[in-house]
Structure 1
Amino acid sequence: MTTKTALVTGASSGIGEATALKLQALGYTVYGAARRTDRLQALAGQGIRPLAMDVTDDDSMRAGVDRIVAETGRIDVLVNNAGYGSYGSIEDVPMDEARRQFEVNVFGAMRLAQLVMPHMRAQKSGTILNVTSMGGKIYTPLGGWYHGTKFALEGLSDAMRLEAKPFGVDIVVIEPGGIRTEWGGIAADNVEKISGGGAYAKQAEAVAAGMRSEANIKRSSPPQVIADAIGKAVTARRPKTRYAIGFAARPMIGMRRVLSDRAFDSVITRVMGMPK
């Protein structure tokens, strides 16, 4: 029996690292991708194949997919996990940074999807999992550019799901809630850097404090819950189209579905301790 092959981006820590190990435990040959392979050495020691890849560099992505196919003859799973949160007010975030946020979180993911699809179509099987966020269904102040990328990835995933279905390829959306990773600290640093000293300073202070609060960190779920959900999706005969997993994901998405815009605005303002 041919061993199935998986590519996980953003594999150097957090969700990506946990997912790479989960897929390996399920019997996959796993390639863990990151910009810096030195951060993949711990995974390499456990049998994960490290892959240098920058999702904003087309040559890098092409070379990575070509290497996987050359070495294994196939690619069965793509986990588009690489991404980051560029926080700051819509007004304050420089357009170059806004574009980079889309390059990493959206265009990099979808370019990889383009590159693996011909191989999956030829196999008549495969699964592409796009890691969005509950932030692809809800919104928070000073997170507009980040939310924009995740909303976009949700819509692209829905369209691609219909396009890929006749070829036996599943497109699955993973919507993490609050997860205990370095993401929150990086986003908090960003919001202070971008909006911490101007008209939005009070909002930036509240957002950063919430992201760093001990209570919030304790409530957050471990990355393993996302890895487990991805494991269920790739082994299911008919996976769900979406998996909302982790702290607050289901209740917040459910609340957004039933509340009016103004009512949800009030909830978010209160939950985040925003100045009125």
Structure 2
Amino acid sequence: MNTNNKLIVITGASSGFGLEIAKEFAKDGYPLLLLARRVEKMEALQLPHTICRKVDVSDKQEFEAAVREAEAEYGKTELIVNNAGVMLLGDIATQDAQEWKTMLDVNVMGVMNGMQIVMNDMKERQSGTIINVSSIAGVQPFGNHAAYCASKFGVTGLTRVARGEMSPYNVRVLSIMPGAVSTELLGHTSDQAIIDGYNDWKESVGAVNITASDVAKTIKYAYELPQSVSLREIIITDTKQDA
């Protein structure tokens, strides 16, 4: 392990962006805390200098206990990537309200929990980076995305507020907003017709070449810039995605 590298916490690390982010940082020997509900998926990576814990990010006590455990081993968190999220697409008039609550709990409360867990230490040290994974659906509307858009617009807004609160302390708060990328995220949606329509749209615009690894590399690049450089908001999409 490179002793100059400090602890990185990644939520939603069992698949998609989170898994690829973990692999990218592991290449350079960063100590990692990987958090997700499916711990076996993270452990299967067999990454060095890594702690894997089963955590529901909407449970702040559980979330914080895992972070403190890793900090006792590797030192204070220098970067947290609040990536855990669910996408349950549906029409406002008919969608089950429990799906709305699930998205708001994980996508918004989970991010706020992660930020609060590390903020005070970062302020005291005058160092640290928080990266929140939002979505292009956090800056523009999409059909059948109402509650998802609400959650991701929420992430965009709270990230901007947190940036203002933390910048006087030399702490970076960034958001990355991916467009359509092939991950497991769409599989959470219960309406097969919506899934089929989304995939048809993605194929029709040719937005199928960008990968989760591309997003992970972008996040790593933003983090490894000097602490004085803040890529505040990054919208990243397939070149062929025009909406």
In the other structure, the counterpart of 2:115 is 113
> Of residues 222, 233, 236 in structure 2, which corresponds to 1:242?
233
In structure 1, stretches of 5+ residues that fail to align are 193-204, 253-276
Aligned-partner Cα distance in 2 for 1:48–1:17:
13
> Of residues 183, 189, 194 in structure 1, which corresponds to 2:185?
183
In the other structure, the counterpart of 2:198 is 211
Aligned residues: CA RMSD: 2.0
Q: How many angstroms does 1:31 deviate by?
A: 1.3
Q: Quick one: which amino acid aligns to residue 179 of structure 1? A: V
Q: Quick one: which amino acid aligns to residue 20 of structure 1? A: A
Instruction: Report sequence identity in percent.
Output: 29
The SS at the match of 2:63 is: helix
In the other structure, the counterpart of 1:138 is 140
The SS at the match of 2:77 is: coil
Aligned-partner Cα distance in 1 for 2:146–2:209:
22
In the other structure, the counterpart of 1:14 is 16
Aligned-partner Cα distance in 2 for 1:26–1:45:
11
User: Contact 2:207–2:241 at 8 Å: present in 1 too?
Assistant: no
In structure 2, stretches of 5+ residues that fail to align are none
In the other structure, the counterpart of 1:126 is 128
Post-superposition CA distance 1:7-32 (Å, at most 9, x none): 00010111101101112223421111
Q: How many angstroms does 1:45 deviate by?
A: 4.6
Alpha-carbon distance change, 218 to 95 in structure 1, aligned in 2, over 3 angstroms? closer
Q: How many angstroms does 1:66 deviate by?
A: 1.1
> Of residues 149, 152, 163 in structure 1, which corresponds to 2:151?
149
Post-superposition CA distance 1:46-84 (Å, at most 9, x none): 553212211121221121121122112210000011001
The SS at the match of 2:129 is: strand
Q: Quick one: which amino acid aligns to residue 21 of structure 1? A: K
Post-superposition CA distance 1:134-157 (Å, at most 9, x none): 111111121100000000110000
In the other structure, the counterpart of 2:89 is 87
In the other structure, the counterpart of 2:212 is 223
Alpha-carbon distance change, 222 to 46 in structure 1, aligned in 2, over 3 angstroms? farther
In the superposition, the TM-score normalised over structure 2's length comes to 0.90
User: Contact 1:90–1:142 at 8 Å: present in 2 too?
Assistant: yes
In the superposition, the TM-score normalised over structure 1's length comes to 0.80
Q: Quick one: which amino acid aligns to residue 242 of structure 1? A: E
Q: How many angstroms does 1:96 deviate by?
A: 2.7
Count of residue pairs brought into register by the alignment: 237
Alpha-carbon distance change, 221 to 46 in structure 1, aligned in 2, over 3 angstroms? farther
